[in-house]
Amino acid sequence: MADVGTLDSMGREVSYEELAERLRGHDLLAWLMDNRTLVSTEPQPRLIEGSVEVTHDLETGDGPWLLVILGDLVTTGDLRFGTDDYATSSLLVTGSLRARNVEYGGSARVAVDQDVVVSGVIVGSNGDSEANLGTSGTLTARAVLLDSHTSIWAKAGSPRSVPEGFRTLIVGGKGWREFTPDVDVGDIELHEATFIPEVLHRGMLDTDKALAHARTGASPFLPDVERRLREKRGL
């Protein structure tokens, strides 16, 4: 990424006690505090008081990190949430999240209180290493591209993730309670019949290529396939 800012170096350092006081009564306070026990080196919490609005890409460091944004997270560029191995990290955004494309992986956990709106694609991987992204509101994107091990959730104001929380096409694994995929990523035979050649590698979806293609404003799907899938989902 060009002109990249490091998100988890922003804001100010706070104690866990102050963080607990500022988020008293929040549904995800325990989720945040659990991060202390998931890593060998306890992360230093950071707090951003107010919205983050930029016109460049933002990414996180190697972790572990723990960050709370009391406001929106908005960029006209891309967001990349990632960590090194075994560096479980957490981000809570109490407002909305808006970006061109979003990528999450490693051991990055991201939760948003309000809506997630992405003009391009959301790519998720390494869910078996804690990587996760979700919203208590609705999630809108051109497409969500996940590996079989990774989940995503959208509650739309409900106690748990619900189908009406997703305003997007989902490529992902089967068997998740949080979502039902429009395309089963594990069915490799479907890939060449579903995606454009520019995002394939040896006949399989390559999410790095899909991200690069999305930065041009293009879809990873073959036009007729995308039209059919969107009609089926009611988009």
Beta bridge partners of 183: 171
pLDDT above 80: residue 4: no
pLDDT tens for 129-142 read 899 999 999 999 99
Percentage of the chain surpassing pLDDT 90?
94
Q: What is the pTM of this model?
A: 0.96
pLDDT above 80: residue 1: no
Mean pLDDT of 167-189: 97
204-205 and 200-201 as β-strands: parallel, antiparallel, unpaired?
A: antiparallel
- b/e map 38-59, b = 16+ CB within 10 Å: bbeeebebbbbeeebebeebbb
Q: What 3-state DSSP class applies to 226? A: helix
User: Using CB atoms within 10 A of its CB, is residue 20 exposed (0-12), middle (13-18) or buried (19+)?
Assistant: middle
Mean pLDDT of 150-174: 98
Mean pLDDT of 45-50: 98
- If pLDDT is split at 50, 70 and 90, which confidence band does 3 have? low
Instruction: Please state whether the peptide bond connecting residue 64 to the residue before it is cis, i.e. omega within 30 degrees of 0.
Output: yes
- H-type alpha helices, the chain: 16-22, 29-34, 191-194, 207-214, 223-233
Mean pLDDT of 206-215: 96
What per-residue confidence (pLDDT) applies to 118? 99
pLDDT tens for 83-99 read 998 999 999 999 999 99
What per-residue confidence (pLDDT) applies to 145? 98
What per-residue confidence (pLDDT) applies to 160? 97
- H-type alpha helices, 60-217: 191-194, 207-214
pLDDT tens for 57-67 read 999 999 999 99
